[in-house]
Structure 1
C-alpha cells in the first residue's frame, strides 16, 4: 500500500470532475443508506464513488483506521461505464490504481 493513498482518492475525484460527473449536492440521506452493493438501487456508480467510497476511505484515513484490503471496485466501474458515450479510461485507470494499492494485487485491466 502506498505511504499515503490520498493522492489516489484525489485522482478519482479529478477524473469525476473531468467527466462533469462531480455533483455539488449530495443525494438525500435515504439514497446513501442503501444496503445494496454500490447503492445500485439508489445511486449511479459515479454518485457512489463521490458520496460513499471516497468519503468513507477519507474518514478511515483521517481516523488512522485500517483501510480495506479486499476491494474490487474496478470490475464494477468497467461494467457501469461500458455503454456510456464518454471516454472513461482515465477514471477506470484511477480506480484500478486504488484497487491495486489497497489489495496489493495487480488488476487485470480490460483495455
Structure 2
C-alpha cells in the first residue's frame, strides 16, 4: 500500500506530463481558446463553471493553471479528482476520445487507481 507521502511524490512526478498531454490534445482538437473568459465567467461558483463556460475553457483557464500553480509552489494537491464524468457528457463525440483518455489518466492518478499512468 502506498503511503500518502509516496502518493504525493508520484503525483508530482507524473502530473506535469499528464497536464501537458491534456493541453496538447485540447490544442490538436481545436478546443484551445485565444480568448480569456470574462471576469464574471471566471468567477462562477458552479462546479466546473458549467453555468458560464464550456468545459474546455474551464480546463484551459481554471484547471490547468491551478494545478500547475500548486505544483510550482509545492502546495498541497487535491486528494481526489472526478473530472471524467462531466467530461464524458461534455465531450461525447467519438472524435473527443483522446481528451477523455487524457482526463481519465489524470483522475486515476489522483485517485490512486494506478501509478503507471
TM-score (norm 2): 0.83
Q: Give deviations 1:14-68, integer Å, cap 9, x for gaps.
A: 1100110101121111101000000000010100100110010011001101211
Higher percent of residues as helix: 2
Alignment pair present for 1:89 and 2:97? yes
Q: Do 1:71 and 1:102's aligned partners in 2 also have CA atoms closer than 8 Å?
A: yes
5+ residue gaps, structure 2: 1-9
1:18-29 to 2 correspondences below 5 Å: 18-29=28-39
Alignment pair present for 1:32 and 2:51? no
User: Match of 2:19?
Assistant: 9
Q: Give the ranges of 4+ consecutive aligned residues of structure 1 lying more than 4 Å apart after TM superposition.
A: none
Q: Do 1:74 and 1:92's aligned partners in 2 also have CA atoms closer than 8 Å?
A: yes
User: Match of 2:86?
Assistant: 76
Give 1:4 deviation, angstroms.
Answer: 3.7
Q: CA RMSD in A?
A: 1.3
TM-score (norm 1): 0.87
Question: Could you say which structure has the larger radius of gyration?
Answer: 2
